[in-house]
């Protein structure tokens, strides 16, 4: 993510400080059948933990898949209830959508989190809205976007680009969605194998 964009939203989390051999994989838009279980299977092979930014509507439809992620030691987080853009929806509507997704998450979590994580869909959020949300949530962005959702992006190029821009402490975005399926199924196993081979660990935020 370009530095000027980061400076516009300084209170958002873009990457993680900490151990030099750790990466933070995140998965947006699930949980859904097929793709989320595939991700869980790949992560388990490397004892990798990740953070799943869940769409509330998908939590309602597929709570058992979300429970599988929790049982495997992963973290669930907020991606709004209806996958709304913070640029094109009124602030009250957007905040209500965030709150509704958080309600669905709290039904699944052992206990409500003091400061839950939130990722705005598409990364589209205004500075005033980010200030409001950061009072109750930690807004999480990223420094590596795999673009696995782009069906015009060849899978080998997607993998090469993701590897090129990853560095220690990176927050990396994948998507456990049908739209991303082709690239996700090619890239994720190879990405995990590459960085595990270099001695990296994969942790939840």
Determine contact, residues 34/58, Cβ cutoff 8 Å.
no
Give the distance, in angstroms, between the CA of residue 29 and the centroid of all CA atoms in the same chain. Answer: 8
Residue with tokens 């196993």: 189
Q: What are the angstrom distances between the C-alpha of 98 and each of 14, 63, 126?
A: 20, 18, 15
Residues tagged active-site: 28, 175
CA angle 156, 158, 161 (to 5 degrees): 105
Nearest to 186 by CA among 158, 145, 164: 158
Question: Which DSSP helix (H) or strand (E) runs through 92?
Answer: helix 91-108
Nearest to 146 by CA among 58, 27, 35, 47: 27
């Amino acid at each position: 993510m370009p530095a000027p964009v980061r400076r516009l939203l300084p209170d958002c989390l873009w990457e993680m400080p900490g151990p030099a051999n750790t990466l933070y994989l995140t998965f947006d838009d699930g949980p859904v059948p097929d793709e989320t279980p595939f991700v869980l299977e790949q992560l388990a092979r490397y004892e990798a933990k990740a953070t799943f930014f869940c769409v509330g509507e998908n939590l309602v439809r597929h709570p058992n898949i979300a429970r599988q992620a929790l049982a495997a030691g992963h973290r669930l987080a907020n991606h709004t209830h209806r996958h709304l853009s913070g640029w094109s929806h009124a602030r009250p509507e957007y905040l209500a959508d965030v709150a509704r997704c958080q309600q669905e998450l709290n039904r699944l979590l052992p206990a409500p989190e003091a400061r839950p994580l939130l990722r705005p869909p598409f990364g589209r959020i205004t500075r005033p809205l980010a200030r409001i949300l950061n009072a109750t949530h930690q807004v999480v962005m990223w420094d590596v976007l795999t673009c696995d959702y782009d069906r015009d992006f060849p899978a080998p190029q997607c993998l090469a680009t993701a590897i090129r821009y990853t560095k220690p402490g990176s927050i990396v975005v994948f998507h456990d969605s049908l739209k991303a399926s082709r690239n996700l199924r090619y890239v994720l196993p190879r990405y995990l194998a590459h960085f595990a081979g270099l001695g990296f660990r994969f942790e939840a935020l």
